[in-house]
Structure 1
Amino acid sequence: MSSTIPHLRNSGSIEYEALSLVADIGATNTRFALAVSGSNELIQPLTLLTSNFTSILSACREYLNHIADLHPSRACIAVACPISGDHVSLTNNSWSFSIEEVQRELNVGRLMVVNDFKALAAGVPHLAAEEIVQIGDGTPIPERTISVIGPGTGLGVATVVQHETGRIILEGEGGHVCFAPGNEREIDILRLLSRQFSRVSTERILSGDGIKTLFQTLAKIDGVAVPDLTTSSIVERAISGSDSRCLEVIDIFCGVLGSFAGDLAMTLNPQGGVYIGGGIIPRIAKLLKDSPFRARFEGKGRLASFIKNVPTYLIMTDHTALTGAASLLLDDLKG
């Protein structure tokens, strides 16, 4: 399920100065929209394949051509990498750019460049009820901390700390913490991957490439030959139920995701809930609901009661980071 952003029908009804460009740059998809300044309303959406463009500027030019004579006065671009200084290099993409150069080329008065999971986290409080699916029990406490996890091309993590005067978004590279196996099968997986990598991060499992890695690793453990399937093919076979090995891959993926989300909840106590986003989640939502995810989330031994009431949600829309980027621009405008 993916909710729809309405297209602008009457461009003359909105002043150019009231428009801001928002973008979510990922290794697979690059999403754009216009935000109506002073609100989180999004119009004129466009999704492009990142691989079709050689740089962020060429993708931006494509979008500016798409919106024709509309010209935004401000912009917020969310990118899948840490931000430090003027030079930005995407982690799972060959693009790199200068923030100052992009601002000049876009001819905007203000350009914010933020981590993509900071934008996703900023968008979570604006999700509609029909854009999320709860997994398991738990009741959120309003205005409490919210954590966000997202397996996609990589594994993103962010947390929103809400307080009386606003919010603080904690961003980092939590997806690169060490993979912690939860059973004998996963210990075998870690043992084999440790021969291939000097350090096995959780992202090695909880990502698009991680699904393919799991598929090949299980075959090696079991001593069987398997075809070189793409991540998409593995997911499709699991969804259809036509391949038991693919089903096991997704089951393990969901179990590891539950443990990882539970560990994050133990660390940060997000009583507002843990939200799971990323491009993979909507496709495997039904399998995840029937998987060990929630049991592994709560399975913290003598401290299980500590997070038993923390709810977990799947984000089922693909424009949450765009809404978050608009929200961050609004915060910036307010000072």
Structure 2
Amino acid sequence: MNELAGETGLSLVADIGGTNTRVALARGPVVDRATVTRYANADHADLGAVLTEYLAETGVEAGQITGVCVAAAGPVHDGVAKLTNLDWRIDRATLARALTAAKVAVLNDLQAQGHAIGNIDAADLDTVIPQPEAPAHATKLVVGLGTGFNACPVFDTEGGRFVPPSEAGHVSLPSCGGRMSALVEAMLRDHGFASVEEVLSGRGISYLHRVLHGQEAQPSEIMQRMGAGDAQAEETGAALVEVMGTVVGDLALSHLPFGGVYLVGGVTRAVAPHLARFGFTDHLRNKGRFSGFMEQFGVFVLRDDYAALTGCASHLARL
């Protein structure tokens, strides 16, 4: 039996992606990383089957779990999650029946990342723009670039932390002249709509490269060539960072995150080494007469791949 099983306040947390689900045990806001297990979604009929297998493997009985929180890669409405790239439906009632837990929560995966802020080891945060002094309760902003794109503010209030859901990846891509206007025109031609996610995501890197150079290439290949100094890949990277900086700057003006902007996700971690040389800060702050105002927002890259699990545990601990 897992050593945590005999302790009170044992929670189960899960991070559900389109391909894999990661499950772990937690006590309070702390995830026991030794218990993290990954499952292929294709091998399971639903989340209930995953959780049943996990409990059997760990030797923990369902009745020992006092709280459960899952983060799902898809919209969450009234406690119901419908995954974007997986035919699973997840709701609080189903989880409560499966685990008989007193505290149950369903979050969007980016909401979970927001709940993790403040519980991440400083070693897992890389500074892109230093954070000016700000009150501890100042609004924060989490921006995720991975399979898709999303962003959500983090509010610390007298009543507790509030991280509202969002589908920010599907808003219109700004057209600011130059290559961004040309990109929007190409997206309108190819897709009928120019959304942020169609550029700021894994598939977006490939699309951006195709628009610029007329060539098909996988995101990993483009990033590898960029690191090797390939001229075409470098141009793609520069365009990606321009769009990224512009969009993050727009979001910062919308939410005023004086407590900092936190960039998360696989695409973020891949492009992070190139942000400075491609002028991310200049693009973020390029807001006309409000350019000076933008200097109040620090920016960090979160490298903790377990942040969503930590966020689930932190959210449960506050309930």
Task: Find the partner of 1:42 among 29, 32, 38.
Answer: 32
Identify which of 192, 212, 217 aligns with 2:211: 217
Deviations 1:13-62 (CA, angstroms, capped at 9, x unpaired): 652542111111122442221111x3434341123344554432333334
Q: Within 1, Cα distance between the matches of 2:199 and 2:4?
A: 48
Aligned pair 1:274/2:264, yes or no? no
- C-alpha change, 1:108 and 1:163, in structure 2 (3 Å) is closer
TM-score of the pair, normalised by structure 2: 0.90
1:298–1:209 distance in 2 versus 1, CA, 3 Å: same
1:200 Cα offset (Å): 1.2
Q: Is the 8 A contact 1:140 1:311 kept in 2?
A: no
| 8 A contact 2:160–2:318 mirrored in 1 | no
Matching of residue 108 in structure 1 with residue 95 in structure 2: no
Quote the Cα distance in structure 2 between the aligned partners of 1:298 and 1:216: 28
1:160 maps to 154
Could you tell me how far apart the structure 1 residues matched to 2:105 and 2:38 are? 20
Match of 1:20 in 2: 11
Q: Distance in 1 between matches of 2:42 and 2:177?
A: 38
Q: Residue 78 of structure 1 aligns to a residue in which SS?
A: strand
- Residue pair 1:16, 1:73 contacting (<8 A) in 2 also: no
SS in 1 for 2:77: coil
Partner of residue 204 from structure 1, selected from 198, 201, 219: 198
**1:249 aligns to 2:236 (yes or no):** yes
**Partner letter of residue 294 of structure 1?**
T
State yes or no: 1:238 paired with 2:226: yes
Supply the RMSD in Å over aligned alpha carbons. Answer: 2.2
Q: Which runs of 5+ in 2 are unaligned?
A: none
SS at match of 1:126: coil
Judged with a 3 Å threshold, the aligned counterparts in structure 2 of structure 1 residues 245 and 47 are, in CA distance, closer, same or farther, namely farther
Q: CA deviation at 1:183?
A: 4.1
1:188: how far off?
1.4
CA distance in structure 1 between the partners assigned to 2:120 and 2:4 by the alignment: 26
Q: Deviations over 1:136-155 (max 9, x none)?
A: 34414132110010011111
Distance 1:140 1:257 in 2: 25
Q: Work out which of the residue numbers 162, 168, 177 in structure 1 matches 2:171.
A: 177
Determine if contact 1:266/1:306 at 8 Å carries over to the other structure.
no
Is 2:59 aligned against 1:68?
yes
Aligned with residue 297 of structure 1, among 262, 284, 290: 284
Cα distance in 1 between the residues matched to 2:73 and 2:310: 16
- The residue type equivalent to 2:236 in the other structure is V
Deviation at 1:198, TM superposition (A): 2.2
1:129-179 CA-to-partner distances (Å, cap 9, x unmatched) read 111111134414132110010011111211112234432223211221100
* Alpha-carbon separation, structure 1, partners of 2:121 and 2:272: 17
SS of equivalent residue, structure 1 residue 308 = helix
- d(CA) in 1 for partners of 2:133, 2:39: 35
Output the CA distance in 1 between the equivalents of 2:74 and 2:274: 29
Aligned equivalents of 1:28, 1:252: Cα separation in 2: 29
1:234 counterpart letter in structure 2: I
Cα distance in 1, alignment partners of residues 101 and 228 from structure 2: 47
The answer for unaligned runs of 5 or more in structure 1 is: 1-9, 221-225
CA shift for structure 1 position 252: 1.5
Q: TM-score, normalised by structure 1?
A: 0.86
Cα–Cα, structure 1 residues 138 and 111, in superposed 2: closer, same or farther, change >3 Å?
Answer: closer
Amino acid at match of 1:149: V
Distance (Å, rounded) in 2 between the aligned partners of 1:248 and 1:47: 36
Q: Which residue identity does 1:94 align to in structure 2?
A: D
Q: Quote the Cα distance in structure 1 between the aligned partners of 2:129 and 2:79.
A: 43
Q: Is the 8 A contact 2:24 2:31 kept in 1?
A: no
Instruction: Give the letter aligned to residue 289 of structure 2.
Output: R
